[in-house]
A and B are shown apart, each in its own frame.
Chain A
């Protein structure tokens, strides 16, 4: 099979075990789990087992988990479902654009980021508030001090964005809704899991006839593959984190030897498999292409690499250099020789651009 995900890009390859299940599941074809047939019951049983597995891996009750597709829909469902007419939405300046899309039309309050990527919580009081908080940043991997922010902000309801942290960071107890992305544990892309902890705090913002749990009819094979991926990755994650942290340390140490490098956030305060580095006076798009020519695919937050020619709002909010940026994601099967090759390629191409 030809690999279509880059070796150091954020899009992750499907876990091999999840691929096996996906293949078998699509081959068999599955009935609608909502139907009252023998096959419907079998499908329902499989779906419930899958949600039990996902719940067990995340230490969350299975009955609170709703599969959704696409994952980005979960921002609307998770946040809008907690908002009342009088609510103020409090969120970070480094949140995903999906959160900004919701806040731009309603009363909102922004938590600003420091140079280290940590959000500064303040104690502004609102009559009614919902806090949307990402556990780890999607571009830099910087982890937020969630408990401290919740204590300072003291919101009525909390939406946790766990799409990047996934199974790597446990959810804190205090939250109302949360969102996970199957890709974060090497499951299929386009599948998310919304967690609604207490149904009395949340109302379905989509048009609906009865107020029961939303059923979004997510493809059953994708839900099964997500469950198999999380079961397998949960068993590997500790080792993967140790390996990624060592590779990340090597990358940061090598890049720091170059002059004028801006690395977003420290390794100690970030997820171990993510790194965002900007090189002064370099062109992000050219850097990306030159590194690609050496066989390594990375992402970039530079304006020249985005559709709308705007620089990464995350880097801008942190005050980190936005041009000459590359983002690197270390996957469980990344090898030492790939890391060595990537380091050599980055140094060579940064030097060439600056000369």
Chain B
């Protein structure tokens, strides 16, 4: 399982790190994003809509992101 530990990073850094990682992954792959930034949850929702990927909130600071699109 791929993991990005973005705890302690403030927006937009967690989403930038996620974007970098996901561009190297294959469609259908999953990545766990650890982030305690309060903007990450709402921004993952917008990011998923804008990029065509999807995510599930596992806990307050753990998000499971699935790559569904080419970006």
Partners in one complex: yes
* A280 contacts B50, C-beta separation under 8 Å: yes
* B10 contacts A309, C-beta separation under 8 Å: yes
Query: Is B70 in the interface zone, CB < 8 Å from A?
Result: no
Closest-CB distance, B13 to chain A (whole angstroms): 8
* A260 contacts B42, C-beta separation under 8 Å: no
Query: Is B43 in the interface zone, CB < 8 Å from A?
Result: yes
Q: Mark A251-265, 1 if CB is under 8 A from B, else 0.
A: 000000000101000
Closest-CB distance, A298 to chain B (whole angstroms): 17
Name the one of B16, B39, B46 contacting A303, with C-beta atoms under 8 angstroms: B39
Cα–Cα, bound, A331→B56 (Å): 42
* B10 contacts A278, C-beta separation under 8 Å: no
Cα–Cα, bound, A284→B46 (Å): 16
Closest-CB distance, B32 to chain A (whole angstroms): 20
Name the one of A115, A262, A319, A323 contacting B11, with C-beta atoms under 8 angstroms: A323
Number of interface residues of B (CB under 8 A): 17
Contacts of B38 in A (CB 8 A): 303, 309-311
Given contacts A302-B39, A311-B39, contact A320 B11 (CB under 8 A): no
Query: Is B34 in the interface zone, CB < 8 Å from A?
Result: no
* A278 contacts B11, C-beta separation under 8 Å: no
Cα–Cα, bound, A324→B15 (Å): 11
Closest-CB distance, B31 to chain A (whole angstroms): 17
The interface centre, meaning the residue of A283, A304, A323 with most chain B CB atoms within 10 A of its CB, is A323
Query: Is A335 in the interface zone, CB < 8 Å from B?
Result: no
Query: Is A37 in the interface zone, CB < 8 Å from B?
Result: no
Query: Is B19 in the interface zone, CB < 8 Å from A?
Result: yes
Closest-CB distance, A165 to chain B (whole angstroms): 26
* A303 contacts B15, C-beta separation under 8 Å: no
Closest to B16 in A: A281
The interface centre, meaning the residue of B19, B42, B49 with most chain A CB atoms within 10 A of its CB, is B42
* B42 contacts A311, C-beta separation under 8 Å: yes
Query: Is A282 in the interface zone, CB < 8 Å from B?
Result: yes
Closest to B45 in A: A319
* A319 contacts B16, C-beta separation under 8 Å: no
Cα–Cα, bound, A239→B30 (Å): 53
Query: Is A315 in the interface zone, CB < 8 Å from B?
Result: yes
Closest to B10 in A: A304
Query: Is A316 in the interface zone, CB < 8 Å from B?
Result: yes
Given contacts A302-B39, A303-B38, contact A281 B46 (CB under 8 A): no
Cα–Cα, bound, A98→B44 (Å): 27
Cα–Cα, bound, A262→B15 (Å): 15
* B19 contacts A322, C-beta separation under 8 Å: no
Query: Is A167 in the interface zone, CB < 8 Å from B?
Result: no
Using CB atoms and an 8 Å cutoff, list the residues of chain A in contact with chain B.
Answer: 115, 260, 262, 278, 280-284, 302-304, 309-311, 315-316, 319-324
> What would 10 A/B residue contacts be, using CB atoms closer than 8 Å?
A280-B15, A281-B12, A281-B19, A303-B37, A311-B39, A319-B49, A322-B42, A322-B46, A323-B11, A323-B12
Using CB atoms and an 8 Å cutoff, list the residues of chain B in contact with chain A.
Answer: 10-12, 15-16, 19, 37-39, 41-43, 45-47, 49-50
